[in-house]
Chains A and B, each alone.
Chain A
Amino acid sequence: MVMIETKAERMVINLGPHHPSMHGVLRLIVTLDGENVVDCEPVLGYLHRGMEKIAENRTIIQYLPYVTRWDYLATMFTEAITVNAPERLANVSVPRRASYIRMIMLELSRIASHLLWLGTFVADIGAQTPFFYVFREREIIYDLFEAATGMRMMHNYFRIGGVAADLPYGWVDKCEDFCNYLTPKIDEYERLISNNPIFRKRIEGLGTIGQDEAINWGLSGPMLRASGVKWDLRKIDHYELYDELDWEVQWDTSGDCLARYFVRVREMRESAKMILQALKALPGGSYENLEAQRVLAGPKSEWNGPDYQFISKKPSPTFKVPAGEHYVRVEAPKGELGVYLIGEDSVFPWRFKIRPPGFVNLQILPQLVRGMKLADIMAILGSVDIIMGEVDR
């Protein structure tokens, strides 16, 4: 058979840093052969603010307002890891109530992050409408955050030894309302998205990561779980009081973008379930109940006991990071968020290394998109779920 020999010049195209679907300021240098991707090289650093260096000359108190700028969509997690690191180094205990409040906040934050991921992911494939729907729900979460912490995104709520303030009046009731409201909404998204033939065709079998591969690349979070590894730090590290709640690790085996979608959607449902449980099990119940019981039982009541505090002891502005070093991690919505902290018994940490999940997960992108179509870059990138604030720090 005679074949017409075609040899096209390859085109190098620069996606980003200002491109509609580059999730902030990621830059991809893509080599195209027609519509096919031959090579892809991510360029990072457009949002680098020296977060680790800043930490080295701030006290933990001073540094806390900064951390929400790493991953600005899962803000509670960055705060959690920033207080967990010195907390464990200094052996500060956290009251049970504080721990429950933290869990509720973390799971709300996880839902918020996954919701926004859902919106952008589907928008990356071309459907704009779910983006607006998820904002509707996310707005409610942020209203709840605002009522409890004073700000919608930059909470500055976690403190060494607990949280900055107790939950406000009526908050528990409204949070419950939200969880009950969320599940039908997720059903609605699924009706809109999950079975859509175009969505399925675009996503199914795309960007498949095998189990070994996922582990070898150091992936974490939904990226890892979608590849058939049942690895959730909440179950593995037993931090906070997650063991007291009844929940399952959500995972999938196929390892493609669709699996990642399903893992995240199921995680949202699971988180809503966990919050409902945590609200029930919250030691002392809602704020109004706790206060009423305290007044009722007088000054020497058990209600003033350590379990029912929102913070064990307010950290002094000169809280010293003890000498020593360790690595602390939490299961953020994007994966394993870790901090490697070296203290030398001074108010400033000597080293504050951040291990952002997005940065590590992003590594696999060039390998995944090679040989795919141009449009698949967006779908795969969307399914990785990166936040440049955290990747570049």
Chain B
Amino acid sequence: MYTGIDLQQALIDVLMGFGLTQGVAKVLWMPLPMLLVFLVASVLALVCTWLERKVSAAAQQRIGPEYMGPFGVLVPLADVGKLIIKQDIIPAKADPILFTLGPVIVFISVFLCYLVIPFGQNLLISDVGTGIFLVIAISSIAPIGLLMSGYSSNNKYALLGGLRAAAQSISYEIPLALAALAIVLMSNGLSTVSIVNQQADYGILSWNVWRQPIGFVIFLISALAECERLPFDLPEAEEELVAGYQTEYTGVKFMLFYGSSYANLLLAGLLVAVLYLGGWELPFPIDRISDWFGISKNTPWWQIITASLGITMTLLKAYLFIFTAILLRWTVPRVRIDQLLDLGWKFLLPIGLVNLLLTAAFKIALPNYFGG
């Protein structure tokens, strides 16, 4: 099978060229992708914050950041700088350990999920067998952090926000998992790479959106709710809870919250891309093109082109989702807590189950189209 570009092997080969043993080379290699993914994810999340400003400004007939760098692209950096040098305040009667631990847990749990996000056949940190399940499992740690910080802030708004966050995450995780499960059913594997590969055959036509339209909608809604974005931003509902669980936070800790909320949004975008929009695949099967021109798939320059195209496609799809999420945020009002839970338990959950059932049925009935 065509495997595409393999950086790990390439680098290990280079290092071994310097006379290192394979073991040492592998150890040297290990932290690199992690660091890379951490940096890339941070930068992409920062881009999200910039996008948020620009899109909201445009939707409100404003200009938004303009003078910091071209089109104000340096604003997120200024944000980071500002938040880093800000005084770190722990409220007098707060629990300092939990108060500090809260944002850290949230941050780590979000960034861990990037482990299994593929940007190409081999462009991911680890193609673990549990793949998508890992994401769902790890991301459900985040509410613990939120609850912690809400509880430890010694602030009633924060407490309410933390409780809301917990309730919300729990109730939307299930439909999210159900939607993902239907995909898993079709691709016969939890691994993110196999999910994408299963959508590769006919370009845009073989993407999962067409086979899982209901699941797609469920996933979109639950992903928005998991990211705590309007219309589901109850934990930090400004008009009700001032800033929810973030009320007492400043400086670096606030930055962790802020950063992880956008990293989470980006993660949701990437997941949508991977699960439903064919991951790194182009709208038309790229292999055909290489066949046409008679280029071998293993030609290095062709590999680089496909890899960069793959990354671009993944990001494009993810940012499409993010753009929609941002525009939605600046369009709709917020739902109420009981309506939120109603929507989760009484609408998405049964529909998710039905969707799963239908998928299973189709899988048996039409094995050719539903990954039999």
Contacts and interface: CB of A to CB of B under 8 A. Distances in A.
A202 B333 contact: yes
Interface stretch (B81-89, B212-220, B234-242, B361-369): B234-242
B336 A373 contact: yes
A140 to B, nearest CB: 13
Contacts of A123: 239
B333 A198 contact: yes
Nearest to A136: B61
A196 interface: yes
B60 A132 contact: yes
Contact of B156 (A11, A125, A376): A11
Nearest to A373: B336
Contacts of A126: 230-231, 233, 237, 239, 332-334
Interface in A337-378: 373-378
Contacts of A125: 239, 333-334
A378 B330 CA distance: 19
B4 to A, nearest CB: 43
Contacts of A323: none
Nearest to B338: A373
A13 B156 contact: yes
Contacts, number: 82
Contacts of B183: none
Contacts of A19: 242
Interface in A15-35: 19-21, 35
A14 B160 CA distance: 13
A124 B59 contact: no
Nearest to B233: A126
Contact of A375 (B156, B231, B337): B337
A57 interface: no
Interface in A275-302: none
Contact of A378 (B59, B230, B239, B331): B239
A13 B155 CA distance: 10
A374 B336 CA distance: 9
Contact of A127 (B156, B157, B234, B333): B333
Given A20-B238, A20-B242, A374-B160, A202 B335 contact: yes
Interface residues of B, number: 27
A129 B339 contact: no
Interface in B42-64: 56, 59-62
A196 B239 contact: no
Interface in A33-51: 35
B330 A128 contact: yes
B270 to A, nearest CB: 26
Interface in B287-336: 330-336
Interface string A114-144: 0000000011111111001100100000000
Interface of A is mostly: helix
A174 interface: no
Nearest to A192: B331
Given A122-B333, A126-B237, A127-B333, A198 B231 contact: yes
Interface in B260-296: none
Contacts of A378: 239-240
Interface in B142-191: 156-157, 160
Contacts of A127: 230, 330-334
A120 to B, nearest CB: 10
A175 B333 CA distance: 32
A189 interface: no
Interface residues of A, number: 30
Interface string A192-215: 100010110110000000000000
Contacts of B338: 35, 373
Contacts of A11: 156
Given A11-B156, A129-B330, A198-B335, A375 B240 contact: yes
Contacts of B333: 122, 125-127, 196, 198-199, 202
A217 B157 CA distance: 32
B239 A21 contact: yes
Contacts of B239: 20-21, 123-126, 378
B75 to A, nearest CB: 19
Nearest to A382: B239
A132 B61 contact: yes
A199 B334 CA distance: 8
Nearest to A14: B156
B330 A376 contact: no
A34 to B, nearest CB: 9
B118 to A, nearest CB: 35
A125 B62 CA distance: 22
Task: From A127, A133, A376, A377, name the one whose CB has the most chain B CB atoms within 10 angstroms.
Answer: A127
A19 B247 CA distance: 12
Contact of B332 (A14, A20, A21, A198): A198
A19 B335 CA distance: 20
Given A11-B156, A13-B156, A132-B61, A373 B337 contact: yes
Contacts of A376: 336
Contacts of B330: 127-129
A35 B163 CA distance: 10
A25 to B, nearest CB: 15
Contact of A201 (B59, B242, B331, B335): B335
Given A21-B240, A375-B337, A133 B60 contact: yes
A129 B327 CA distance: 10
B337 A129 contact: no
A123 B334 CA distance: 9
Contacts of A124: 239
Contacts of A122: 333
A132 B62 contact: yes
Chain A CB within 10 Å — which of B233, B234, B239, B338 has the most?
B239
14 contacts: A13-B157, A13-B160, A14-B156, A123-B239, A125-B239, A126-B239, A127-B330, A201-B336, A202-B333, A202-B336, A374-B337, A375-B240, A375-B337, A378-B240
Interface of B: 56, 59-62, 156-157, 160, 230-231, 233-234, 237-240, 242, 330-339
- Which are the 10 A-B pairs with shortest beta-carbon distances? A126-B334, A132-B60, A21-B239, A125-B333, A127-B333, A126-B333, A129-B330, A375-B336, A13-B156, A378-B239
Given A14-B156, A202-B334, 9 more contacts: A11-B156, A126-B233, A126-B239, A126-B334, A127-B332, A133-B61, A198-B334, A202-B333, A373-B338
Interface of A: 11, 13-14, 19-21, 35, 122-129, 132-133, 136, 192, 196, 198-199, 201-202, 373-378
